[in-house]
Amino acid sequence: MQVDRRTMMAGAVATIVAAPVLAKARMASSGGWYDRAIVIDALGGLGDPYGPDDAIRLSDRAWAEMAASGVTVLRDTVMPVGNVPDPWAAYQKDMGIKQQVLAANPDRLILVRTAADILKAKREKKFGVVIGTQDTSMIGGDLDRLAQMKKDGVMTVQLTYNNGNLAGDGSLEPRNGGLTKLGKATIDRIEKERLLLDLSHGGARTMAEAAAYAKRPLVISHTGARALADHPRNTSDETIKAVADKGGVVGVYFMPFLTLDSHPKGSDLVAHIEHVANVAGEDHVGLGSDNGVLPQDTGPEATRKLNEWAKQRMDAGIAAPGEGLNVWPMVADYNSVDRYRRLASDLQKRGWTEARLDKLFGGNFLRVYRDAWNG
């Protein structure tokens, strides 16, 4: 199956990792809180590491492992990101591929346009897919494109990626110039179209100004707490609180930026989750792994592909500090099919109630999706 750069990494599943964990996940799926919950990964990648590159039908093996993960919904990214030569053409090409994949898997995948679609996915034991952008480079000054993108199936729009665009500065732009006039107009149109605004990857000033300007609930789908790791991809407590005050949600990622040495442990992920929950409140924290539901292979061939991908990002000027050769975009302690289930168990051991876990693992994003999409 054709995949984008995120899905290539997120979907590379190691047989030696996946097989035994898959068996355990199946054994654990006989009931309990987790299996009843709506589980939403607010930013990841959908892909099949077992099928050929040109396949659009999910392989049985990939589907079995996706189902075993217990995830109800994943937000997938429609490319491009960054200031590529013809971003609208690149968007149309990638959107076409995603539509083909959805059409080839009607018994397994549901395109999510409403909160009701998420409940349907859970009820029918299917996998919900929310399509969103991680940039507005494909929109630029032609805000009417947002209406077309919604017709195509896009439901979330991220304002910037790591570098600057016409809407504002991303997290790596040294000038930190903030939100532009066009950026404000873009937010207005996003909200008018009943799409969900995402501030991930934004520069500190851009995120702060956009959170203050937005009139509807918004999200930072995948980030960490800058108070714990002073990294440009992480978010200040002030902006976390500002998003929460608008009724929004901040998703915590499973990424190297949780620590400054690029090798976070499971305890670091837990610390960021609990910090965001304390700052924003338990109604405004969620998960946006920036991985995918399948674990990552770390064998020799996967390492070669990782380093090729990392070099491409560095050469394109979109790699964040801490990215580099042999740096895996994940939290190794949770690199398994049952990562979400194990994280829930670890949080329960720290005193998290099932009601609080319900909010973190999906309830909060389900609410903000309903609020943003009007149903």
Condensed to tens digits (0 to 9), the pLDDT of residues 347-357 reads 999 999 999 99
* Whole-number Å distance between alpha carbons of 161 and 171: 7
> Tell me: the pLDDT tens digits for 40-64?
999 999 988 888 888 999 999 999 9
> Tell me: the pLDDT tens digits for 65-85?
999 999 999 999 999 999 999
CB 234 within 8 A of CB 225: yes
Question: What proportion of the chain, given as a percentage, has pLDDT over 70?
Answer: 91
Residue whose structure tokens are 């978010």: 235
Give Cα 73 distance to the centre of its chain.
11
| Confidence band, pLDDT 50/70/90 cuts, at residue 96 | very high
Domains of the chain (ranges; CATH) run: 5-373 (3.20.20.140)
Structure tokens at 358: 């319900």
> Tell me: the pLDDT tens digits for 244-263?
999 999 999 999 999 999 99
Q: ∠68-73-79 over CA atoms, to 5°?
A: 115
CB 127 within 8 A of CB 106: no
Letter string b/e over residues 323-348, b meaning 16 or more CB atoms within 10 A of that residue's CB: beeebbbbbebbbbbbbbbbbbebbe
CB 240 within 8 A of CB 225: yes
* Whole-number Å distance between alpha carbons of 205 and 215: 18
What pLDDT was estimated at residue 375?
A: 64
| Secondary structure of the chain in HEC code, one letter for each residue | CCCCHHHHHHCCCCHHHHHHHHHHHHHHCCCCHHHHCCCEECCCCCCCCCCCCCCCCCCHHHHHHHHHHCCCEEEEEECCCCCCCCHHHHHHHHHHHHHHHHHHCCCCEEECCCHHHHHHHHHCCCEEEEEEECCCCCCCCCCCHHHHHHHHCEEEEECCCCCCCCCECECCCCCCCCECHHHHHHHHHHHHCCCEEECCCECHHHHHHHHHHCCCCCEEEEECECCCCCCCCCECHHHHHHHHHCCCEEEECCCHHHCCCCCCCHHHHHHHHHHHHHHHCCCCEEECCCCCCCCCCCCHHHHHHHHHHHHHHHHHCCCCCCCCCCCCCCCHHHCCCCHHHHHHHHHHHCCCCHHHHHHHHHHHHHHHHHHHHCC
The length of the chain in residues reads: 375
Q: Residue 211: CB partners within 8 Å, gap ≥ 6?
A: 199, 218, 239, 242, 243, 246, 248
> Does residue 243 register a pLDDT over 90?
yes
What pLDDT was estimated at residue 265?
A: 98
* Whole-number Å distance between alpha carbons of 334 and 107: 29
* Whole-number Å distance between alpha carbons of 124 and 280: 33
| Confidence band, pLDDT 50/70/90 cuts, at residue 16 | very low
> Does residue 1 register a pLDDT over 90?
no
> Does residue 9 register a pLDDT over 70?
no
> Does residue 131 register a pLDDT over 60?
yes
What pLDDT was estimated at residue 347?
A: 98
